[in-house]
Homo-oligomer: A and B are copies of this chain.
Amino acid sequence: MSDMMKCFVMHGIGKVGMVEKPIPRPGSSDAIIRTTAALICTSDTHTVAGAIGDRNGLTLGHEAVGVIHELGELAAASGLFKIGQRVAVSAITPCYACDNCQRGFSSQCGGMLGGWKFANVKDGSFAEYFHVNNAVANLAPIPDGLTDEQAAYCCDMLSTGFVAAEFANIPIGGSVAIFSQGPVGMMATVGARLRGAGLVIGVESMPNRIALAKKYGCDVIVDFTKEDPIEAILKLTGGQGVDSAIEALGSAKTFAACVSVTRPGGTISNIGYHGDGDSVPIPREAWGVGMSDKTIRTALCPGGSERMSRLLRLIETGRVDPLALTTHRFAFTDIEKAFRMMQTKEDGMIKPLISFV
């Protein structure tokens, strides 16, 4: 067996390609996973477009599952895992020891957004093997009834989509507007249903996404190319506005719309990545001149094996079937093609599955 592996990396801004790197070795608390299935995320394309700078040689990818290939000494001593076991790993892999982790904000491990390590501060998981820090806290066994593909959706799509709904503080039977029905927005839709929303309004314009968003639980779709979404949502709620709004796009305009359509005392839950400009404006009057009792929350995909286990269980007990998100399938050797399609979302691509067999 070779000690080299294939990796799909960024070659500076705008460029990607396959390279060989040594198979990583674990530190004492760590694990090495042999990849079986991965998903490409729009944020991978943001990275290549330069969102976090020129990461020449960085392996991309943060949504992947696999089998345990090697365990560090402490990780092995925990007795929790065995070589060959199928595991899912969140996109976010906190240390669970630092101040922010102890405070309950493990996505901010060690500093702002610091739980995000894959394809940011270390190599990602678009590789035949990948390294996982703090294995005890970050490896979630995949239940027997689940496929690797299903499990891969827990790494980011379910965790991020659902936290949007959890932080939106939706009262049981309450109303929620979800701006954009991309894959995370659709999982926010599922999450809103799982938290008991009585009315879920999706804002979207692409026909294939509209169709899928309805399947995932939107009661109503507002097509912002056909009507003003603020007016439409106010009308749908008798002029009151929604209890909660979710920003799942990452645009200043939709963020402002979220504030505008949320009733006083309601919550705006942001999970969209805001990549442009110096600031994201809050509309002053809709914000009640700063006195409306409206709350604005934000989150970065929560990680950790305990949460991952709950997400896996939701698939296992039939609460959500993420597979309808998989519009395309590729072998790892064809990942560059998949990646190029994800950049343009051509052919109605929502999520492409990458198989490592």
Whether B298 and A297, one on each chain, are in contact in the complex, defined by CB atoms closer than 8 angstroms, is no
Binding stretch for chain B, among A33-41, A221-229, A283-291, A347-355: A283-291
Chain B hits for A174, CB < 8 A: 310
Whether B306 and A103, one on each chain, are in contact in the complex, defined by CB atoms closer than 8 angstroms, is yes
Copies in the complex: 4
Whether B96 and A313, one on each chain, are in contact in the complex, defined by CB atoms closer than 8 angstroms, is no
Q: A280 with B284: in contact, given A97-B137, A195-B196, A291-B113 (CB under 8 Å)?
A: yes
Please measure, in the bound complex, the distance between the C-alpha atom of A113 and the C-alpha atom of B285, giving whole angstroms.
11
A191 CB within 8 Å of chain B: yes
Whether A299 and B310, one on each chain, are in contact in the complex, defined by CB atoms closer than 8 angstroms, is no
Whether B102 and A293, one on each chain, are in contact in the complex, defined by CB atoms closer than 8 angstroms, is no
Please measure, in the bound complex, the distance between the C-alpha atom of A292 and the C-alpha atom of B292, giving whole angstroms.
22
A25 CB within 8 Å of chain B: no
Encode contact with B along A195-216: 1 for CB under 8 Å, 0 otherwise: 1101100000000000000000
A136 CB within 8 Å of chain B: yes
Q: A289 with B274: in contact, given A102-B305, A199-B317, A279-B284 (CB under 8 Å)?
A: yes
Whether B28 and A264, one on each chain, are in contact in the complex, defined by CB atoms closer than 8 angstroms, is no
A181 CB within 8 Å of chain B: no
Please measure, in the bound complex, the distance between the C-alpha atom of A271 and the C-alpha atom of B291, giving whole angstroms.
6
Chain B hits for A195, CB < 8 A: 172, 194-196
7 contacts between A and B (CB under 8 A): A97-B136, A99-B240, A102-B307, A196-B196, A280-B290, A282-B282, A296-B297
